Amino acid sequence: MKRLSRWTVGTMWISAVCAGVGLFALTASAQDVRQDVRDLRQDRQDVRQDTRDIRQDRRDISNDTKDIRQDRRDVSGDTRDIRQDRRDIVTDRQNLRNAEKSGDQNAIKADRQDLRNDRRDLRSDVKDRRSDVRDLHADKQDRRQDVHDLNHDRQDRRADRRDIRQDRRDLHRDVSARRGR
């Protein structure tokens, strides 16, 4: 009986492999638990950061909306000023015609000066309105970008929350496997 049967040798070999795998699985499971805890912490930090980003995006959108309202008021005021300047120019032209008919040199000089000043005011108001329209478009683009960022951050947070759920499942599975359940 010094000789072992094939069946006995095979059984011993399988037992040794299983014992090695069991010991390896036990250490691997401890590493898995540690890694799962790290992943869970990291995902929670990601969710907190995404929440802060979302809050900031909402503030940015609110500020952009306020800027847009102000720019619209500015454009409206500039348009009102332009209309008034055009009316003043028409009145100044009529006054200049009347002064030329009367032949009063001082009145002609004063009416020409008024006309020049009103034209200068008109150009200035047109320039202001153009600038305000540019600002309005820039603020609209900023708000569009902030809305895009908000949606992107919401998607990131949703993905991170899914990761947290998966990491919890992995952690529970690895802890249960380590305890032998």
| Class of the CATH domain delimited by 6-179 | mainly alpha
Sequence spans of domains, the chain: 6-179
Q: Could you write out the DSSP letters of every residue in 146-157? A: HHHHHHHHHHHH
Backbone phi, then psi, for 101, in 5-degree steps? -65, -40
Using CB atoms within 10 Å of the CB of residue 5, give its burial: 0 to 12 exposed, 13 to 18 middle, 19+ buried: exposed
81 CB contacts (<8 Å, ≥6 apart)? 121, 125, 128
Q: What is the pLDDT of residue 1?
A: 44
Structure pTM?
Answer: 0.65
pLDDT at 117: 94
Task: State residue 5 phi and psi, 5-degree precision.
Answer: -75, 160
Return the pLDDT at 161: 86
> Is the Cβ–Cβ distance between 142 and 25 less than 8 Å?
no
Query: Angle at which helices 6-102 and 105-179 pack, to 10 degrees?
Result: 170
The pLDDT of residue 6 is: 65
Please tell me the total number of residues recorded for the chain in this structure: 181
145-151 CB contacts, 8 Å cutoff, 24+ apart? 146/57, 146/60, 146/61, 146/64, 147/57, 147/61, 149/53, 149/57, 149/60, 150/54, 150/57, 150/58, 150/61
pLDDT string in tens for the chain (181-residue length): 456 566 665 666 676 666 655 555 445 567 777 887 888 788 888 888 888 988 998 999 999 999 999 999 999 999 999 999 999 999 999 999 999 999 889 999 999 999 999 999 999 999 999 999 999 999 999 999 999 999 998 898 888 888 888 888 888 888 887 776 5
Instruction: Determine the pLDDT at residue 42.
Output: 86
